[in-house]
């Protein structure tokens, strides 16, 4: 490497990220172990066509390279639309710009369509192809989890994503490079602040730029080596509750300490709004009690949108 900048420290990558091969039925045990220990893993042989990934990435890049005034026509993200630096409704900020979509309702409103140039249908179809393939993979993973946990039916988790009313979200993030900005001195400017994801499962794909970190516990952050050909999966708060704490909803963040821009796309698989989120009875041992109060996804989401990004959102729902 030929970086001459004085304060630049190359990233040390964590080598302990579990790798799950989706083409091997045997992977289900490793998958459960990864969810219990880290709440995070990488999947290979995932079956999502590379062409879908690169097509959407290039559409996203062409959107993000539009003049700000054009992009703003798709905003503000309240909660769906274009956002720039501001995250959520409660004052959080990060070094990024993004597009947020709902999946099942039509978030391709006129506002969106107008910013995708002369051919919005091309963007819509790139988005649909990608999301359908990633959702299918997410469901396969959730079914392997149920198998690995030895619970039935094997679609206990995946049926929530497959439900017509599933409240799933999709986000395209662009973290511009920060080279040249004085804050490089600190070497840890926040791209997207630490948080856990509220949903069941999140499926992330990014280009080859580093930045993602996961927490191994109290202030112990490790950097995830980027891999543009694989997906990274994380357990969300709802899955932690459904497994009564057996699976861990991983805290993660993105640092914008890169010389290159980072583009990521994330599918957040969530349940229908009316769904009760509670530990699954077949997972409970004799006399085991739920660690959480009863709540619906609607209630959890409402409370999430009243929280700050870094808050421990499950705390509020824990039994004392
Ligand atoms: C974190 C995970 C997803 O990106 C997201 C985020 C959402 C937003 O950006 O609007 C939230 C955040 C996320 C959790 C707490 C609330 C809501 C910003 C925020 C401060 C789309 C989601 O579902 O929850």
In this predicted model, what pLDDT tens digit does every residue of 30-40 receive, in sequence order?
Answer: 999 999 999 99
Domain for residue 261, yes or no?
Answer: yes
Please report the pLDDT score of residue 2 as a whole number: 43
Q: Which of 215-219, 225-229, 294-298 has the lowest mean pLDDT?
A: 215-219
Least confident range from 50-59, 119-128, 181-190: namely 181-190
* 184 or 220: which leads in pLDDT: 220
Is residue 309 lining ligand 1, measured as CB closer than 6 Å? yes
Report whether residue 305 contacts ligand 1, using a CB cutoff of 6 Å: yes
What pLDDT does residue 180 have? 61
Q: How many structural domains are present in the chain?
A: 1
- In what order do the strands lie in the sheet containing 262-269? 19-21, 40-44, 231-235, 201-206, 262-269, 169-175, 92-102, 81-87
What is the rounded distance in angstroms from the CA atom of residue 166 to the CA atom of residue 161?
5
pLDDT at residue 181 in the model = 58
Q: Which of 47, 15, 8, 54 is nearest to 263 (CA)?
A: 54
d(CA 200, CA 64): 28
Asked if residue 190 belongs to a domain, the reply is yes
The residue to mutate among 309, 311, 315, 316, having the most atoms of ligand 1 within 8 angstroms of its beta carbon, is: 309
Look up residue 303 and give its two tokens. Answer: 């409370």
Mutate to test the pocket of ligand 1, among 79, 80, 83, 88 (most ligand atoms within 8 A of CB): 88
**Per the structure block, which two tokens stand in for 249?**
């909803």
More confident residue, 2 or 151: 151
Ligand 1 atom showing the smallest separation from residue 196 Cα: 1
Q: Is 87 in the pocket of ligand 1 (CB under 6 A)?
A: yes
Distances from the Cα of 37 to the Cαs of 16, 216, 295, in angstroms? 11, 9, 25
**What is the ipTM metric for this complex?**
0.99
How does pLDDT run across 110-146, given as a tens digit for each residue? Answer: 667 667 766 788 888 999 999 999 999 999 999 999 9
Is the distance from the beta carbon of residue 88 to the nearest atom of ligand 1 less than 6 Å? yes
Q: Which is it for the CA torsion 203, 130, 60, 231, positive or negative? A: positive
Question: How far does the centroid of ligand 1 lie from the alpha carbon of residue 88, in Å?
Answer: 6
Residue 129 φ/ψ, nearest 5 degrees = -60, -45
Mutation pick for ligand 1 pocket among 195, 250, 270 (CB with most ligand atoms within 8 Å): 195
Please name the residue whose Cα sits nearest to atom 23 of ligand 1.
198
Ligand 1 close to Cβ of residue 193 (< 6 A): no
CB 196 within 8 A of CB 254: no
Helix (H) or strand (E) holding 110: helix 110-113
For 281, phi then psi, to 5°, come to -50, -45
Mutation probe of ligand 1 site: the residue of 89, 305, 307, 308 with most atoms within 8 A of C-beta? 305
Centre of ligand 1 from the C-alpha of residue 24, in Å: 33
In a domain, 9, yes or no: no
In this prediction, residues 11-35 reach a mean pLDDT of 95
Within a domain: residue 12?
no
How many residues does the structure list for the chain? 320
Compare 143 and 1 and report the one with higher pLDDT: 143
Please enumerate in sequence order all residues whose Cβ is within 8 A of that of 222, keeping only pairs 6 or more positions apart, or say none.
13, 14, 16, 213, 214, 216
| Cβ atoms of 146 and 108 closer than 8 Å | no
Query: What percent of the chain lies above the pLDDT cut of 70?
Result: 90
Q: How many CB atoms lie within 10 A of CB 274?
A: 10
| Higher pLDDT pick, 268 / 123 | 268
What local confidence, expressed as pLDDT, does residue 8 receive?
A: 56
Asked which of 3-7, 221-225, 247-251 is least confident by mean pLDDT, the reply is 3-7
Structural domain includes residue 8: no
| Residue 201, ligand 1, Cβ within 6 A | no
Q: Cα(232)–Cα(203) distance, rounded to whole angstroms?
A: 6
The helix (H) or strand (E) run that includes residue 213 is: strand 212-215
What spacing in Å lies between the alpha carbon of 309 and ligand 1's midpoint? Answer: 7
CATH code, 170: 2.60.120.330
- Residue showing tokens 């993602």: 212
Taking the alpha carbons of 24, 28, 30, 35 in that order, is the dihedral positive or negative?
A: positive
8 A C-beta contact, residue 172 and residue 99: yes
Q: Is the CB–ligand 1 distance for residue 314 below 6 Å? A: no
Torsion of CA 138, 136, 75, 95, to 10 degrees: 40
pLDDT of residue 1: 45
Average pLDDT for 36-53: 98
Residue 52 covered by a domain: yes
| Listed residue (42, 11, 58) closest to 265, CA to CA | 58
Q: Which segment of 27-36, 91-100, 173-182 scores lowest on mean pLDDT?
A: 173-182
236 lines ligand 1 (CB under 6 A): no
Structure tokens at 41: 């893993």
Range of the domain at 303: 19-317
Nearest CA to ligand 1 atom 10: 88
Whether 87 is covered by a domain: the verdict is yes
Residue with more model confidence, 44 or 259: 44
Q: Is residue 302 part of a domain?
A: yes
Give residue 23 CA to ligand 1 midpoint distance, Å: 32
248 falls in which pLDDT band (50, 70, 90)?
very high
pLDDT category at 225 given cuts 50, 70, 90 is very high
* Tokens representing residue 299 in the block: 């209630």
Give the pLDDT confidence score for residue 3 in this predicted structure: 46
Mean pLDDT of 253-274: 93
Instruction: Categorize the per-residue pLDDT at 316 as very low, low, confident or very high, splitting at 50, 70 and 90.
Output: very high
* Closest Cα to atom 2 of ligand 1: 197
Q: What distance in angstroms lies between residue 47's CA and the mean position of ligand 1's atoms?
A: 28
C-alpha 307/C-alpha 124 separation (Å) is 31
**pLDDT (average), residues 77-105:** 91
Active-site positions? 262
Q: By percentage, how much of the chain surpasses pLDDT 90?
A: 79
């Amino acid at each position: 490497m030929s970086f001459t900048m004085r304060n630049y420290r190359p990233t040390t990558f964590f080598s302990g990220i579990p790798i799950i091969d989706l083409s091997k039925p045997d992977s289900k045990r490793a998958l459960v172990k990864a969810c219990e220990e880290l709440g995070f893993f990488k999947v290979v042989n995932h079956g999502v066509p590379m062409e879908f990934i690169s097509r959407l990435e290039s559409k996203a890049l062409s959107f993000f390279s539009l003049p700000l005034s054009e992009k703003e026509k798709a905003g503000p993200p309240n909660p769906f639309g274009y956002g720039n630096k501001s995250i959520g409704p409660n004052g959080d900020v990060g070094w990024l710009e993004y597009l947020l979509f709902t999946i099942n309702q039509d978030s391709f409103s006129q506002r969106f369509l107008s910013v995708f140039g002369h051919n919005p249908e091309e963007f819509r179809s790139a988005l649909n192809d990608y999301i359908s393939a990633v959702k299918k993979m997410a469901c396969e993973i959730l079914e392997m989890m149920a198998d690995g946990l030895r619970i039935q039916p094997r679609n206990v988790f995946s049926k929530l994503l497959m439900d017509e009313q599933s409240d799933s979200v999709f986000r395209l993030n662009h973290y511009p490079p920060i080279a040249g900005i004085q804050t490089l001195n600190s070497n840890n400017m926040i791209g997207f602040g630490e948080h856990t994801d509220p949903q069941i499962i999140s499926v992330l794909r990014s280009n080859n730029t580093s930045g993602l970190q996961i927490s191994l516990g109290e202030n112990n952050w490790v950097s995830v080596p980027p891999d543009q050909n694989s997906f990274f999966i994380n357990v969300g708060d709802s899955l932690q509750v459904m497994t009564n704490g057996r699976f861990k909803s991983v805290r993660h963040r993105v640092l914008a300490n890169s010389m290159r821009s980072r583009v990521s796309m994330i599918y957040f698989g969530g349940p229908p709004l009316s769904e009760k989120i509670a530990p699954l009875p077949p997972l409970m041992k004799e006399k085991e009690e739920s660690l959480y109060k009863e709540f619906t996804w609607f209630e959890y989401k409402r409370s999430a949108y009243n929280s700050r990004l870094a808050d421990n959102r499950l705390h509020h729902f824990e039994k004392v």
